[in-house]
Chain A
Amino acid sequence: MLLRHEGFRRLCRARDLLRRAAAESREPSPTIEQLAREVRISPFHFIRQFEAVFGVTPHQFRIASRIELAKQLLARGEHSVTDVCMEIGFSSLGTFSTLFAQRVGESPSAYRRRIRPLVAVRDRGASRLTPGCLSLMGALPSSAFCSVRLQADGTKSAKAGHHVRSG
Chain B
Amino acid sequence: MRIKLTSLMVDDQSKALRFYTEVLGFTKKHDIPVGEYRWITVTGDDRDDLELALEPNANPAGKAFQEAMFAQGIPIAAFEVGDIQAEFARLTSHGVAFTREPTSAGPVTLALFSDTCGNLIQLYQPTR
How far apart are the CA atoms of A104 and B116 in the complex, in Å?
Answer: 20
The size of the chain B interface, using a CB distance under 8 A, is 41
Encoded as 1 (CB less than 8 Å from any A CB) or 0, chain B from 6 to 40 comes to 01010110010001000000000010101111010
How far apart are the CA atoms of A56 and B12 in the complex, in Å?
Answer: 10
Q: Is B59 touching A131 in the complex (CB atoms < 8 A)?
A: yes
Query: B4 contacts which chain A residues (CB < 8 A)?
Result: 147
Query: Given A1-B96, A3-B98, A53–B116 Cβ distance below 8 Å?
Result: yes
How far apart are the CA atoms of A3 and B70 in the complex, in Å?
Answer: 14
Query: A139 contacts which chain B residues (CB < 8 A)?
Result: 34-35
Task: Using C-beta atoms within 8 Å of the partner chain, give the interface range for chain A.
Answer: 20 to 34
Query: Given A12-B70, A52-B116, A133-B59, A128–B53 Cβ distance below 8 Å?
Result: no
Asked whether A121 is an interface residue with its Cβ less than 8 Å from the other chain, the reply is no
Asked whether B87 is an interface residue with its Cβ less than 8 Å from the other chain, the reply is no
Q: Which residue of B lies closest to A128 (CB)?
A: B35
- From B34, B59, B97, B101, give the contact of A140 (CB < 8 A): B34
Encoded as 1 (CB less than 8 Å from any B CB) or 0, chain A from 116 to 132 comes to 00000000000011111
Q: Is B116 touching A136 in the complex (CB atoms < 8 A)?
A: no
What are 8 A-B contacts with C-beta separation under 8 Å? A3-B98, A5-B73, A12-B70, A12-B71, A55-B11, A134-B5, A141-B32, A144-B32
